[in-house]
Copies of this chain bind each other. A is one copy, B any other.
Amino acid sequence: MNQKEVILVVDVALLGCGGSMPMPNRFLSSLLINYKGRKILIDCGEGTQVSMRILGWGFKSIDIILITHSHGDHTVGLPGLLATIGNSGRTNPITIIGPKGISDIIKGLRVIAPYLPYDINIIEAESKACDFKITSEGLKITEKNHEISISNLELEHSSACLGYSLYINRKPKFDVEKATSNLVPKILWSRLQRGEVISFEGNKYEPEMVLGDERSGIKISYITDTRPIVAIPEFIFGSDLFICEGTYGDDNDLEKAKINKHMTFTEAAELAKAGNVKELILTHFSPAMLEPGKFLDSAVNIFENTVIGSDRLVKTLVYNK
């Protein structure tokens, strides 16, 4: 008998695609990830909670907030969002990860939301990966059996800034032949598949006795507010989805990009190519760039599977067969 396999998916929504300041028809760059109903948010500029409300995925299930850096276009919306999450009835703690110094920024902004009905655990990341699994309180840091691993990379911007990469583990397939040859009683199959270690009628049974080979999971990488440093391709390598800043579309703005520590579409596409990612979504457009689509070709010529980001662009990522 073959155990029924549930194909898990991850939904990703680009909440906004602007940089610098909120504009009438463009929210600020921010990403919302939905994994089994639990949410991870990356960055929270002014208005991010409004885009979240339009999207309609809810506020109460936000377990993790990743902040790239302290600049206002990535943080101003945080205290208002924390208050709104409080109003949603959440009492479970939230984990916030950010670069060195983010605790002081959050402390400052929380002057208008000093009392919340839940705790906030702030981690100043410094290159250390954090592993999470779903618990009764949502996604929480774990030392074993993690479902998601969140890595970070120090970028090159005008303030301390982190890129993030999320890896969603995929459990090995149930292997009927292996289970049968290991003489595992059928009554234990589903519990072993879920990862339990079981003592039964004097014998010890482990998940490995019924599971096949490791299978590749889903990798999502998010890089904004940086120059294209050499460490990025390795960090994002093989991502199913690579969301990357393209503050400037026009290659003639390369000098501006260098001065302001940002990237052009061409530079983002070169990273996508070097990182062998599956798809690139461009975001964090300069307010002066009204039609980023005009410059899509500069990126596509280097990396074909490039998409111009737009507010509430939603992608559903499915495990490869």
Contacts and interface: CB of A to CB of B under 8 A. Distances in A.
Contacts of A111: 70, 104-105, 107-109
A188 interface: no
A173 B23 CA distance: 44
A275 to B, nearest CB: 30
Contacts of A108: 107-112
Interface residues of A, number: 32
Contacts of A110: 108
B72 A24 contact: no
Contacts of A79: 72, 76
- How many chain copies? 2
Contact of A112 (B54, B72, B80, B84): B72
A24 B109 CA distance: 23
Main secondary structure, interface of A, reads helix
B22 A54 contact: no
Interface in A66-104: 70-73, 75-77, 79-80, 83-84, 87, 104
Interface stretch (A45-53, A232-240, A278-286): A45-53
B75 A22 contact: no
A287 to B, nearest CB: 9
Given A21-B80, A46-B80, A104-B111, 20 more contacts: A20-B87, A22-B49, A22-B50, A24-B53, A46-B50, A46-B76, A47-B47, A47-B50, A70-B111, A70-B112, A72-B79, A72-B80, A72-B113, A73-B80, A76-B79, A76-B80, A76-B112, A105-B111, A109-B109, A109-B112
